Each structure stands twice: as structure tokens, then as C-alpha cells.
Structure 1
Amino acid sequence: MQSTDDKGNGIVVNDYTRIIYAGKEFLTQLLPELQRHFKVETHKDIATLGEYISKQTLLSLPDAILIEVDEDGECFRFVEKLKLNTLLREIVIIFLSASASPKLSQIALRLNVGDLYIAPIPVNDLCNRIKFLIRLRAFQPRVSDSAAIRVTAQFPVKKRIFDLCISCFVFLLLIPVFSLIALLIRIESKGPIIYRSKRVGAGYKIFDFFKFRSMRHESSNDLANLSALNQYVPAEGTSPTFIKIKNDPRVTKVGAFLRRYSLDELPQLFNVIKGDMSLVGNRPLPLYEAKSLTSDEWALRFLAPAGLTGLWQVSRRGKGEMSERERKKLDNFYARKYSLRLDLAILIATFAAMKQKENV
């Protein structure tokens, strides 16, 4: 027997696709719907799951494992061990967690798990995601050694040469501006002048992203308390993908000026010179945003280079009515259509878009 997804898309997945569920917190909520689509076996904790997996043969291994994240990190150690085995690493792994955190997202990306879901968990979306990941695995090459397969993005040489010439020239030209901004930040508040954060760029590459610090030092800890001010309003029953705070109280006076004229972005010229980013592309995302865009519909945006400026910044930036879906569609459009001519048009339009109309 074979089944289709809830949208009738004809995703071919056997009704008896086997998945293992490890944990108890979400089991009552998720199990009935999971059993409609898959043959489900449950284990109360990682210890019993590990014992079960160790006894399986190649033919009896599950297609996917859903793991509730535990407080002591035993689930992470289990997955690390699993990934060392050439055969077991092909099992689809999905983490389920009661709460979100940048650290958790970073661990999930490092372990290369299929996805990370944060409560409340949309069970229909979860089922379709499992089907997609299993189907994707069928098309991926299998390996016979311990070398991991990495997705790399290759971009035109002309684009790289253009990026290096322009970014080096602009950097040398703006050295006095860099020095003045650094001095103002140092005078106003304590903390580093350059803010570094982990971002996800082309091919899901994680790199250190540079900006002039525009907020109070260590203010990222306050983010969870500011969700009501998010510019991007999620659909009912879902969590927002992008986070952009209106009138963010964490921003300093100097930082507000830098943000208004996009001067806080200037250190990203270093990222362009290093090759982490391009002058024009899709904005590299924080880990907590990137983990929401691993579906087959939206992963296309990561096939384009990460950019200092991009299509959505020049076309709709600062407009409060912009939805998450509109931004994602613009990112996907650029990933399909980017060219040196389009990049030049975006760069020219960027100067008009540099002054923000909103305090975000």
C-alpha cells in the first residue's frame, strides 16, 4: 500500500514506513496522527532506544527516528555515535523540543539532523516532513566509507572577482568612517565594537558574521521577552521564521543612528573579502531562523550566495505589510535568476534603500 500527503501531492511513502519515537512528553499528542501514516514503535528514553538499535540488522533498521531533546544532552551523544556508523547515519533524525534556543539550533545543525521542531509541534507538517526526508534520502548517493557528503555551492568566477574588487576598494575608501564609528561605540557603551554571530549562508555553510555592535552588550538574552514586537507575524498556530523587532529597546543611541543608515552592516565587507558572502545575495540567517527553512519549498534560497544586500532589501525593506511568505519568495526568485546584471541593478537600488523608514 502507498499513501499521499494531506495535500494530495502523491508523495510515495509506504503505509508501513517504520519510525521510532523516543520520549514521553509529546507522545500522547503526536502518536495518533503518526500512526495514520507510519508504523510507529516507541521507546521511553535514549537508553532503551540505543539498546534497540544495537540489536537491529540492516533490513530491520527504522526509516526515521523522532527524539525528544533531554536536559542532560544524552540525545546529542546518541546521535553523534549514530553518525559515526556508515549505515546508521542514513537514518532520518528529527529532534523535538519543548523550547527553542540558539545553542540547540546550532547543535542540530552541527549534527546534521533532518529537522528540529519546537513545541507546539504541528503534527501534519511533521508527517509530511518525515515523508519528504525519506524520499530525499532515496535519491542521495550512499557512501561506503566514513567520509561525509557535504553540499557545496559553486558560483561564477566573474561574481567573485567583482565582489573582491568592489569590496576592497570600498573598504579602503571608508577607513576613516570605520575609525569614527568604532570610537563612538566605544565611548557610549561597554562591550566589543564588532558584534559576531553565527550565520547560515549558501549551502547551509555556518560562518562568523560581522556587524558594528548596535545593541547593549549581551542583549540577545532578552530576545524571548520581545516576541510581541516582531515585525513578522506568523500564521495561526505556527512560530515566526524571521525576527525583526520594531523600536527594539536593546538598541543604543549610536546603534539607532547606525541602523537607520545601514552603517552597522559595513563590517560585512570583511565577510565578502573572506568569501563567506557576496555583495549581493540572500541575507545569511541566524541559526534559529535557518532551521525553519529546511523544507523542500524554501531550501532553494540557500542555493544562492549569501549577500550584504539583496532583492528583498531593495524592493520591500521597511514596509510593515511584508509577510514572511513574500520575503521567502523574493529569496527563491533571486536563487533562480541571479546574474551580474541583476546584481548591478540591486547595488544601485541599495543606495536608495539604505535609509530605513522604520526603527527595526
Structure 2
Amino acid sequence: MSFQTEIIKWYKINKRDLPWRSTTDPYVIWLSEIILQQTRVEQGLPYFNKFLENFPTVKTFAGATETEVLKLWQGLGYYSRGRNMLFTAKQVMELHSGNFPKDYDKLIELKGIGDYTAAAISSFSNDQSKAVLDGNVFRVLSRYFGIEEPINSTTGKKIFSALAQSLIEGQKPSVYNQAIMEFGALQCKPKSPSCSICPLQVGCFALKNHKVNVLPVKLKKVKVRERWFNYFVALQGDKILIKQRKPGDVWQQMYDFPLIETSGPVGLNVTQFNDTVKEMFGNDIKIKSLMQKKHILTHQIIYVHFFGLENYMINFNMHTDIKSVMVEDFAVLPHPKVISDFFELYLQNKPNI
């Protein structure tokens, strides 16, 4: 049997029952594809269900506010995806009269939709012969055909793209694309793949040449930036100090606490740090260390230190980005995951803050 035939045969037996596989609605498929970017199916499925429940059509999505979208997205990471989705929904309303396009060439013109997503939507909804190339597909092709060119190099991308497109020719695109992606996700996994029961083992280059753990090859990532965020949890009665993050940095437009970013970790005995805190919150301020957490992003590691404040005073005319709101109002705003995790703990242990 051919590579494609074996993949499809395996898929029909082993595929997962996922809600977006039972529809050809490009809007629903788009939702699933964007949510599952950089996200495992198990983690993304509840978010997909929430979004579809709240926004059953692209029209309802386009009518949402950014705050509503970010709140639903909270905890999923890569928040620009959520903002781009809202922009895309509005584009569909303006450019396509609310009819989500199924054609690759029209899809690729929408914000947040690249080659992979356009190929996925057009093939799943319209059987357009466009091969998908995601991490799972790169891995399967690299191992089976023995391609050692880095998957994220310019040359590598051209090689894989040409091969993937040649393999989809003559196949039913909606089935074949789903099959090879599922095969990579469940069978040809990144670590400890099930090679002993793999239907492609006879022709697999990586298995024959003991390179399963070597392929695919990927160029090294850029250097990870380290940052130190010192958050201040300032509570007075049922009110708490918050601020909305500005554009141009992580978690833009989401809500967190007042903070001082430092070039390294600080302790309560660091004079410069304490002086800066007093400038913000008054000389009578009392500071208590509450919690420290390491938060890992794609290109950043953020070391977060939460401090509780007592006897604080703040000049809101000077610090216009800081607001005092009811705790219950802050709870419904969108937060970065590190803030929402702390906030849940805070709600359970309010007297200790």
C-alpha cells in the first residue's frame, strides 16, 4: 500500500471523535484551528466549546468586545490570537457579507490566517487540494522520507511544502489532511512514538536508520529573555488596585496589578526597591511577601513576585493607569494566567493577604 493509503486506513480506525470534524462550516473549523494553534486538543477543546456557545456565528463573534473575547481566552496563552480572531470576524462581515470564505485565496487575505490555517479550512470545508503543514505533519514527513533539512529553514520549508502538496494530489483533501495530522498527533509522536505497531514501519527512513529521536531537525530558537515582575496586591475593604496593560508588551490590554519590573530578583531588604515602592504607595507602607512564581512564555521567562500592601496611599492623578475597583468587578475582567491563578488562591485565602 502507498504512504497515503496506509495513513488514511489508520485514520479511519484510530481518529478521535472531535466536534469540528462533523461539520464543513468554515467558521467552526476556523474557530478550532485558531484555538488549537500551539495548544493540545485536550486543553483547547473546552475553549472551543465556550467560544462556539457564546459566538455560534461569525456575526455574533464580530459583535463581541475585546474584553469579552480575552476573558473567554484567559489561560490559553498567545493572546494576540484572540485579538486577531475578533479582527478577522469583523473583516468577514465587511468583506464577505458575513459569509466565512471557503476558498484558500480569500482565506489567506484575512488577518491571523496563514498558509497552514488557510489550507486546513479550505480543505476541510471545501475539499480544496491544499496540503497542511503543521508540527505533526513536518514530523511524519521528516521521519518517513528522511528529510534532514531543518523544518524552520527557508530551504526546509520549500522542500516540505513541495512534498506535502505532491502527496495530497489524487486524494480526498479533507480526509487525507486530517489523517496525516492525526497520525502525527497520536502515532508518530514527538517522544516515544509507537514504532513497533506503526503501519509505516517498513518504509520509514528514521526507524531503519535509528534517527527517530533525531528527526525532524529544527534550527535553535532565539535567546529567551528573562524578566522580573513585582506585583503589589493592594486591598482596602472590598476594593483592589488594578491596571490595564498597555500595547506593545506581553498580555496587552489584559488586567493585572500595579507592578515594578526590576532587572533581577529583589528582597524586602533592598533599599532601592523599597524606596521605589514608597514613592508609589507612601512612606507608611507595609510590605509582605506573598508568593513567587516562574511563568514561562515562548521567548520570555517571567519571574513573578507578589507582595501584599498595607497602609498604602496612591496619587491617582500621577498614576493614571492604576484604578481602584471592586474585587468582584476585577474577577470578571480578562487576566494573564499567572494573575488568575493567584487570584483564585487569593479568593480562598482572603484573610491572609
TM-score computed with the length of structure 1 as normaliser:
0.24
Greater RCO, CA 8 A, separation 6+: 2
